[in-house]
Structure 1
């Protein structure tokens, strides 16, 4: 007795393989697009996080310390109080503060005292213009002067 086994023809199998390969190719293409977008989102988040860390650190220090000064020769910003001090060093591609490093590139720095631009010495406000990586944003950090600023 002859028993027939149900099977597909060679043409049917080729069509299935072709359709499967097209679907798998589309799936990998979509996966690649999603992965690229995820990398872009991650990079953007890293950049914004670094900028927010710097801004937060500067605001904390400017409100914590009573005296601020800038030394242009050493390119450093000094925060001092009766008890403690903190120093920010500006380099070409990053800013360092004690054990912290902020990977933020500064294009231009402006320092002010009593509303007038100054290039060294005591300051009460400063503006940092960031590179194009940060969409040319700027940070303006200031403090209110009290009587201790004008004594001695």
Structure 2
């Protein structure tokens, strides 16, 4: 009686190790690419949030400058007071934020220059303000309003 050996088709150990090695390389590269994409997305999100804060501050200042007749600035407190017949609004400029009443804008104020006419002033009534926001990439926000005749008479 002769025994017949029946062969089962299978992969060899070397073939399996090659497949595992290639799979590990592909998965490692995929995780590396995923990490790079996450870092890029974080940078884009951070930049978008910073630009959004700057735009919101610009819009709010522009609306307040155009809605109020008289604007006073006090350099000692870095405070801005906007007044009209109906209400008054206070702004406080800190190094890392701007506070408007109950609103807070998280922007770094690098430099602040108030003006009346073409003269830079430290305190008193103003009609324009020049803000430099950000330390490394400075953005300039320039706000102004047209003066009423009473602004010139009361000086």
* TM bin (shorter chain): over 0.9
Tell me the residue number matched to 2:71.
68
Q: Which runs of 5+ in 2 are unaligned?
A: none
- Partner of 1:132, secondary structure, is coil
Once the two structures are superposed, the pairs formed by residues 33-44 of structure 1 within 5 Å of their partners are 33-44=36-47
2: CA distance, partners of 1:38 / 1:21: 26
Q: CA deviation at 1:99?
A: 1.2
CA root-mean-square deviation: 1.4
After superposing on structure 2, the runs of 4+ consecutive aligned residues of structure 1 that deviate more than 4 Å are none
Once the two structures are superposed, the pairs formed by residues 81-96 of structure 1 within 5 Å of their partners are 81-96=84-99
2: CA distance, partners of 1:66 / 1:4: 97
2: CA distance, partners of 1:74 / 1:24: 57
Tell me the residue number matched to 1:32.
35
- 1:47-102 CA distances to partner (integer Å, 9 max, x unpaired)? 10111111111001000111000012222100000111110011221110111101
Which of 136, 140, 143 is the aligned partner of 1:141?
143
Once the two structures are superposed, the pairs formed by residues 2-151 of structure 1 within 5 Å of their partners are 2-133=5-136, 135-151=137-153
2: CA distance, partners of 1:127 / 1:100: 20
2: CA distance, partners of 1:35 / 1:92: 30
Q: How many residues align?
A: 151
Largest Rg, 1 or 2: 2
1: CA distance, partners of 2:34 / 2:77: 50
Q: CA contact under 8 A between 2:71 and 2:126: conserved in structure 1?
A: yes
1: CA distance, partners of 2:57 / 2:86: 23
